[in-house]
Amino acid sequence: MNNLSPKVQNQLSMLQQIQQQLQTVLSQKAQYEMAVREAKRAQEEISDAAEDAVMYMSVGTVMMQKKKEVINSKLAEKVETLELRIKSLEKQEKMMQGKFEQLQAQIKAALEGKGTPTAA
Amino acid sequence: MNNLSPKVQNQLSMLQQIQQQLQTVLSQKAQYEMAVREAKRAQEEISDAAEDAVMYMSVGTVMMQKKKEVINSKLAEKVETLELRIKSLEKQEKMMQGKFEQLQAQIKAALEGKGTPTAA
Amino acid sequence: MNNLSPKVQNQLSMLQQIQQQLQTVLSQKAQYEMAVREAKRAQEEISDAAEDAVMYMSVGTVMMQKKKEVINSKLAEKVETLELRIKSLEKQEKMMQGKFEQLQAQIKAALEGKGTPTAA
Amino acid sequence: MNNLSPKVQNQLSMLQQIQQQLQTVLSQKAQYEMAVREAKRAQEEISDAAEDAVMYMSVGTVMMQKKKEVINSKLAEKVETLELRIKSLEKQEKMMQGKFEQLQAQIKAALEGKGTPTAA
């Protein structure tokens, strides 16, 4: 990077930072999406059961017996919360993507304007 | 890589891509194989139990009481689905392996045809 | 690193070691903090239940039926233990941070005192 | 590595391989040790319970009600199996460590016998 101007070097390191933040956002989103799928599978499974079927729900290491309708509403709440978080992550993702492409264009323009790196 | 022709450089980067995709396929396959082993262990465990033994099956954070025969058929279904996915992954694996070896041979031929890297 | 004195090289490798240890401490702390959050969520969940509600607590692969008050005190104990460990990790974190900054300053001073790397 | 003889280059790549295998063995051992600790904690937990306490044991996604004595003997069996595997891994670890040190000494001797890398 010795032939790059401080400005371009700075833009390159910002590019790297955004890439890392984007990675974090995407992996967080993937985790929430998996949790939504799991909660929806549980809702389906429950919908087949009798109203008085024996069911438990776990929070960490504790399992508590709960009525079908209680579990159902807790799952619905969970799905709703997770989907809100996913939407918020998608907004962040879009903003980062925009910033990323803008930086990329600026760096490309700077490098092309400069000619070959060894040119005086 | 300065002495390599653009074509060989391109083949090398394809080689790397295939290697990464192969890694993803292999780790996914390993996860499915573990899930199959676990489901089969559960089937064995169940087979020793009385028909009216109290059992639960979990979907995410919800556990529902189910009859032995219901759990058994759900486990059998799960094993079947997973084994289909494993077979499909093995097909992908084979195709990638073939593409990998082909590229490797092409690169080797190109490099040998070129003589030593510093030769004019 | 060929132009660096053995002393500075040594300080640089110590810097790297501390950075790795700091990573380990931080990821351990994050795990304990998640376990605390989970235990507190379980406590909340339990507090709404009737005194005679059917609950289980799991240790590894074993789930045992326990009374609400027993689970509650086990969770409180768990939170307390984890919070002590987190405090101890935070002490380690602070010490490492201090050592890190000290080394960084020493290296910076050594490099600046040296002038350009190729100067005699 | 251009100045190293093919023999030494080969020894270096063997060294790297052994290091990777050692990593795999150590992380597998750490997993088994954690499973042993967990099974022992479950045994302790059970020992306080009444003979007719309601307990479940999970295999994958299935939980089955079992008697205290059955769970106890299953846990004891599990601990025994895991401890055998740990011993076997420790044997492998020792062998690899020995091979590692031997190779390291051979490489060191080869490099020292060679004098400075650029000497004719």
For A55-100, write each residue's pLDDT tens digit.
999 999 999 999 999 999 999 999 999 999 999 999 999 999 999 9
Which chain A residue's Cα is nearest to B59? A42
State how far the Cα of A68 lies from the Cα of A74, in Å rounded to an integer.
10
What local confidence, expressed as pLDDT, does residue D119 receive?
Answer: 42
How many Å apart are CA B117 and CA B114, to the nearest integer? 7
- Percent residues over pLDDT 70 in chain A: 92
pLDDT above 80 for D113: no
Whether the per-residue pLDDT at A1 is higher than 80: the answer is no
CA distance D115 to chain C (A): 18
Amino acid identity for residue B83 in this structure = E
- ipTM of the complex, rounded to two decimals: 0.74
pLDDT by residue (tens digit) across A96-112? Answer: 999 999 999 999 998 88
- End-to-end Cα distance, chain C: 16
Structure tokens at C101: 């900054």
The DSSP string of chain B is -TTS-HHHHHHHHHHHHHHHHHHHHHHHHHHHHHHHHHHHHHHHHHHTS-TT--EEEEETTEEEEE-HHHHHHHHHHHHHHHHHHHHHHHHHHHHHHHHHHHHHHHHHHHHHHT-STT--
Q: How many CB pairs under 8 A join C and D?
A: 41
Q: Does D53 touch chain B (CB under 8 A)?
A: no
Give the tens place of pLDDT for each residue, B76-117: 999 999 999 999 999 999 999 999 999 999 999 988 876 555
What per-residue confidence (pLDDT) applies to D68?
93
Q: What is the pLDDT of residues D33-78, one digit of tens each?
A: 999 999 999 999 999 888 888 999 999 999 999 999 999 999 999 9
Cβ contact (<8 Å) for A42 and B56? no
What integer is the mean pLDDT of B6-14? 90
What residues in chain C have per-residue pLDDT under 50?
Answer: 1, 118-120
Please give, rounded to a whole number of angstroms, the shortest distance from the CA of D32 to a CA of chain C: 13
